[in-house]
Amino acid sequence: MDIRDRIGWNLRRLRKERNFTQEEFATDSGFDRGYISGIERGVRNPSILVLARIAKALDVDVIELLDPVKAQQFAKSARGQPY
């Protein structure tokens, strides 16, 4: 699994756990909604400082965003689901 996908799935997972829309989270974290969308889909290549800001907005450590197991599980559970 590509590292960008790991981050993308984990971000989507953590955001949904908090019942935020992309738009709400974008406002909260100070990013553009389209940029957040791109990270969740794994098409962006964010820098480590961007990840740190995102992690802070989610109130987790950066490592949580890179968790391969949780990313995999969430990706699997999300198959065929609407966004």
Partner DNA sequence: GTGTGACTCCTAGTCCGTC
Partner DNA sequence: TGACGGACTAGGAGTCACA
Which of residues 3, 17, 18, 23 is near DNA by CB under 7 A? 23
Is residue 34 at the binding interface for DNA, with CB under 7 A as the rule?
Answer: yes
CB 11 within 8 A of CB 54: yes
**CB count in 10 Å sphere of residue 11:** 24
Q: Which option in DNA, its own copies, none does residue 37 bind, with CB closer than 5 to 8 A by kind?
A: DNA
Is residue 70 at the binding interface for DNA, with CB under 7 A as the rule?
Answer: no
| DSSP summary character for residue 26 | H
What is the rounded distance in angstroms from the CA atom of residue 37 to the CA atom of residue 79?
Answer: 17
Rank residues 21 and 45 by Cβ distance to its own copies and give the closer one.
45
Rank residues 23 and 32 by Cβ distance to its own copies and give the closer one.
32
Buried b / exposed e over 14-28, threshold 16 CB at 10 Å, is: bbeeeebebeebbee
Applying CB under 7 A, which residues contact DNA? 21-23, 30-35, 37-38, 40-41, 43-47, 49-50, 83
